[in-house]
Amino acid sequence: MRQVYMDNAATTALNKEVLEAMTPYFTEIYGNPSSLHTPGQLAHKAVANARQQVAKALGAEDAEREIIFTGGGSEADNMVLLGIAQRYQKKGKHIITTNVEHHAVLYTCQRLEKMGYEVTYLPVDEYGRITAQQVADAIRPDTILVSVMFGNNEVGTLMPIPEIGAVCREKGVFFHTDAVQAVGHVHINVKEMNIDMLSLSAHKFHGPKGVGALYVRKGIVIPALITGGAQEHNKRAGTENVPGIVGLGKAIELACGSIDENAPRMTRLRDKLITRIPELIPEVKLNGHPTERLPGNVNFSIKYIEGESILLMLDLNGIAASSGSACTSGSLDPSHVLLAMGLPHEIAHGSLRLTLGDDTTEEDVDYVLEVLPAIVKRLRAMSPLYHE
């Protein structure tokens, strides 16, 4: 049976070059980067090199001061929201975000609300997008932070990040973007896009799991979320995950260096799925913006059947896909993103997310187009709601 992996938004395969770069730091160069002896300093040098690789990929000007390594994107999001709230609460206790953010942002905002902060959740349009004008209209004298994701993890919609950043810069409000899904897939320059803080995670661009990074523009003070040591310039305590950090640095270098090659190819394959699925399957709806979306993201609502049933049958045919965020795959509730975009519960329950990666081939796409219509037809034949 053919095996096709189309769940790259959940996680990606580790690039072989990344694994080769990481391997020596497990068994040969295993010193603690904080140690003064040679093994420790070799590890320290590797971490410093990875910091430079991340800074270069993002267009940051001061790697040493602006790049903080974390345990992943969720930690980076928490660090920004809780840190800015704590450090700048004398200026105000108002935060702006959207109602389609990753739960790492949404749940942290709910936590802040319980601590006395006020959060404005901007509504999105039918494509899952907001405008810079919405942000401008929502900013108040006591607003301290705007947090808007770069590209949505479920429907792939890209937000107008440069325009939002320009509004925040003009108003003197800090701007953070959760770019976990976007880094390595679209070009990002934090200076040109007026981004003050940015979260990323290595395993979304063929790096290792359990390691991420946070860009914080020089001059912005964020208290440590994890205390107990002086690592990361007192911003994040704990002995650094040297192999993971080395892997992150190599992965972001490779991914960002090949965007001009990979993004057009994935966009072409993405658009083939977007075009052919409605031709082969009646009563389906594309979720997310038709063009302003991540290169590898395809999300459809397939009426009259449950998304979980589709996933199980796809898996039996060797196709790995998802119905939304991997972080909420155990929940029976429909996607908060699809509901925010105006889809009714019964249609939101039938969502299918296909996300492509560097290894996705034309043959993979053709196989999905061959298998999926038969699965949908079989499931609809068992549905009391569907009448052909």
Active-site residue set: 327
Amino acid at 7: D
CA distance to 64, 79, 82, 92, 100, per residue, from 85 (Å): 24, 10, 5, 8, 21
The amino acid present at 237, given as its one-letter code, is A
Query: Quick count: other Cβ atoms within 10 Å of Cβ 49?
Result: 14
Q: DSSP letters of 30-44? A: ---TT-SSHHHHHHH
Q: Using alpha carbons, list the distances in angstroms from residue 254 to 184, 201, 208, 249, 295.
A: 8, 14, 13, 9, 17
Closest Cα to residue 274, out of 259, 288, 257?
288
Count CB-CB contacts under 10 A for residue 126: 11
Strands (E) in the chain, as ranges, are: 4-5, 67-70, 94-98, 118-122, 143-147, 174-178, 197-201, 212-216, 284-286, 297-302, 319-320, 351-355
Helix (H) or strand (E) holding 278: helix 259-280
Rounded alpha-carbon distances, angstroms, from residue 114 to 39, 83, 119, 138: 46, 16, 11, 21
Q: List beta partners, residue 5.
A: 320
**Dihedral angle over CA of 50, 51, 54, 57, nearest 10:** -100
Strands 118-122 and 143-147: unpaired
Parallel, antiparallel or unpaired: strands 319-320 and 4-5: parallel
Q: Token pair for residue 133?
A: 């004008």
Q: Which residues contact 36 (CB under 8 A, 6 or more apart)?
A: none
Query: Which DSSP string corresponds to 185-206?
Result: TB---TTTTT-SEEEEEGGGTT
